[in-house]
Structure 1
C-alpha cells in the first residue's frame, strides 16, 4: 500500500509544481494589467498574493510601492521602497522611487541623498538626473538643475525630456532664446508624447512635481495675460504634465498673440499644437 501511495505522490508532484508556477505567473500578469490600467488597489491585491508565494521578490515589492505612489499614499509607498532597498541595495529603482516620494513630501535633503546613493550603483540611469533636476527646480536652485540636465544629455544627447525640462529651467531664469532652442531640440529628437514608456505612477509623480513651476507661470499670466511668451511657457508646463487640453489653449493663444518677424516661432508653436492634439 505504501508503495502505491509513494508512486501516486511521485506522479502528481510535477503537476502540483506546474500548477503553482502557472498560478504565480497568472497573478503577476493580472497584477501588471491592473497596474498599467491605473487600478492600483487591485494591482496591490494581486502583487500581494504573488508576494505570499515569493516573499523576497524585490521587483514585486517595488511595484506595490509604485501602486501606493499612484494612490498618493506616500507613507506606504516609502515603506515598500525601503523594503526593496533592504532586500537588494543594488536595485537602483528602489532609491529613485523613494527619492521621488521624499521630494513629493518636501523632504529635499532625504530625496537628494537617495538620488546620490542611486548614482553609486548605476550612474547611467537617466531617471536619477531627471529626478534631481526636478528637485532643484522646486528648491529654486536653477543652476544646479541645469547641471543635472547637462549630465543627462551628455549620457543621452537625444533625450527629448531633458531638453524640454531645460526649457522650463530657462523660463524660470528668463532666458527667452534658450527656451525656444530647448523646445525645438526636444521636438527634433522626439515628436511623440514624452512619457509614453514611463510607469503610470511615475507620470502622476512628475505631474505633481511641476506644480511649483506652474504656480510661477500662473502668476505671470495673471500679470501679463497678453504676453505670447508667458502663455507659451505655461503651455510647455501643461504639456510636460500631460495636460494637453490646457497646453493647446495656451499654445493657440501664444500663436495668436505673437506679432514678431521670426517665422520659426509660429512654426514651432504649430508643431507642438499638432503633437499635443495627437496625444490628447
Structure 2
C-alpha cells in the first residue's frame, strides 16, 4: 500500500520506512493530540494493523480537521482494507476541501475507476493538468475508462436491438401461464373461466372452458397441464389429448402451482397452506 503523506510535512524518516511522522506540531500549527494520534496511526500502518490505524487517523481528523495527511493516509488504509466506499468518501472530502489538489483528485478518480464507475472516474482523471506528476497515469486510466464506457454502450445497444417484443391480446383477466415441451402456450383466463392454448407464435388453438376461476398453471414432464380452480376449490388436469379430469378436490382456494422433480406444489390461500403432491403416485 502506498503511504500518502505530504512531502513538506515529513520531518523525519522512521525505521528506514518511507512513512513520515510529525516530530513537532508547533511548526505547522497542528493540535498536539492530533499529531500524536497521527504518528501512532503511521506506526500501526507499518505493522499492518490497518483497522487500528484507520481509527487513529479518524481521531486525528476529529481533533484537527486541517491535518490533511491524516485524510490521505485514512483513505489509503481504507482502500487497503477493501473498504472502497469509505476510501472514496475520504478522497471526495479532500477534493471538496481543495479542488486543485492533483493528488486528491487523482486518487478519487482512481477509486471510481477501480469500482467500475468509469463515467465518474473520467470526470476527475481528465481534470489532472499536464504539469502534474499524476498526469501520465491519469491519461492512461482515462483511456481505459473511455474504452470501457464505449464498450458498455455498444453492448447495451445490441441488447436493446435483440429484444423482440410481441404482444398477444384478447384475454379476459389473464392469470397463470406455462408452456409445454413443444412450445405451446397456455394462459388461464380467470374471469372468463377458461384456459386458452396458443401456438408458439401466439395464435389461438383452442380453449378449455367451463372452469371456475382458473388461476395458477403448471406443466409436468408429460405435458399434462394442471389448473388451480380458485372458485371450484380443486385442481384439474388437462392431458395432451384434451381430456380433462379432477386431480384433487376439497381444497380451499388453490392459487399458485409449481412443479419440480415430479412434485406439484400448491399454495392454498383459503387455509394459508402449502400442499405437496407426488405426481409419480398419481
- Shorter chain as normaliser: what TM range? 0.3 to 0.5
When normalised by structure 2's length, the TM-score is: 0.40
Greater fraction strand: 2
Structure index of larger Rg:
2
When normalised by structure 1's length, the TM-score is: 0.40
